[in-house]
Amino acid sequence: MSAAIIQRLLQRRQRFADGSDEKWEYCAPECGVSHFPIRTENALKANRIVGGVIANKNSLPWQVALIRPSGSQFCGGSIISDRWILTAAHCFRNSASTGWNPPTGYTVRIGSHTMSRTAESEGGISIAVEKIVCHPYFSRNPTDHDVCLLKLKEHIPFRKNIAPICLPHADAPVPAPGTACMASGWGRRISSNSEPTSEHLRQVYVPIMPIDACNTTIGEQSGYALTPRMICTATPDGGFSTCQGDSGGPYVCPNAAGQWEIHGVTSWGYGCAPARLPAVYAKVTYFTHWIVDSIAQN
């Protein structure tokens, strides 16, 4: 059974627990479809997600914010079914790098745009994490197999502003180098722990970088080579990228049918949008089978 069919079946299990009177097309949504206009431009001088713009409210309905037990936002993620979030494994590696943080106290903020407001005041919801399933081969130096699944304690109430992103088929090609796809999140503007994360959800379009060029620039900086489980993006002069706080968030591209698919999970890089140095994402197509199997087993 294909990933798309399994994802659709998972979506059909929606319980409508919130008593919503939303239209059926919202409560049982097609993946990768936004019912609000998505911005199409970048703005070099905008803050936070580097070189990006504030997303139109509710236009990225698959985007979620991950919230620590302390209440602060620390990573992003993407809705892939009514119980599961796709994010980065490094977001949940414990401080000793020997295992995974337990799910206790972690929540996922869904259908939200402005961090200074409550999710409920924006027509969203916060749901506690029940289980964390990170890839067993996750490693550092370089960060690899950087994907993780979060099972939520409750079903997500799909609405006009809450919907899943499409998972690409495992054999689907990554869009060609030069294709500008979209990253999003609430991350910082510069690589500094003193820099606050963004109050509003932001987005940026950045082009896919040829793998040989990416390997050259990454190798010069770190001595590491990209693996088949990574893709990278960069602009020649810098100024457009993700930053701290965006980790785990989506890098999405429209497919031939006009639906948005998640091709990357924000993973790692050097600084935030320096010239020539790429941002690296976990390549979702490499992990599609693992994602589907992990959901089925858990």
Cα-Cα-Cα-Cα dihedral of 40, 211, 257, 181, to 10°?
Answer: -10
The count of other CB atoms within 10 Å of the CB of residue 137 is: 10
Three-state SS at 212: helix
Select which of 146, 241, 246, 294 is catalytic: 146
Residue 90 annotated among the catalytic residues of the structure:
yes
For residues 235 and 93, give the distance between their C-alpha atoms in angstroms, rounded to a whole number. Answer: 30
Residue 212 annotated among the catalytic residues of the structure:
no
Q: Which helix (H) or strand (E) holds 138?
A: none
Please report, as a single letter, which amino acid is at residue 36: F
* DSSP code at position 230: E
For residues 81 and 66, give the distance between their C-alpha atoms in angstroms, rounded to a whole number. Answer: 16
For residues 95 and 119, give the distance between their C-alpha atoms in angstroms, rounded to a whole number. Answer: 29
For residues 51 and 198, give the distance between their C-alpha atoms in angstroms, rounded to a whole number. Answer: 13
239 — alpha (psi -120 to 50), left (phi > 0) or beta?
Answer: left
Q: Tell me which residue of 18, 21, 2, 20 sits closest to 10, measured CA to CA.
A: 2
Residue 121 annotated among the catalytic residues of the structure:
no
Select which of 78, 90, 145, 246 is catalytic: 90
Select which of 81, 198, 241, 247 is catalytic: 247
- Catalytic residue set: 90, 146, 247
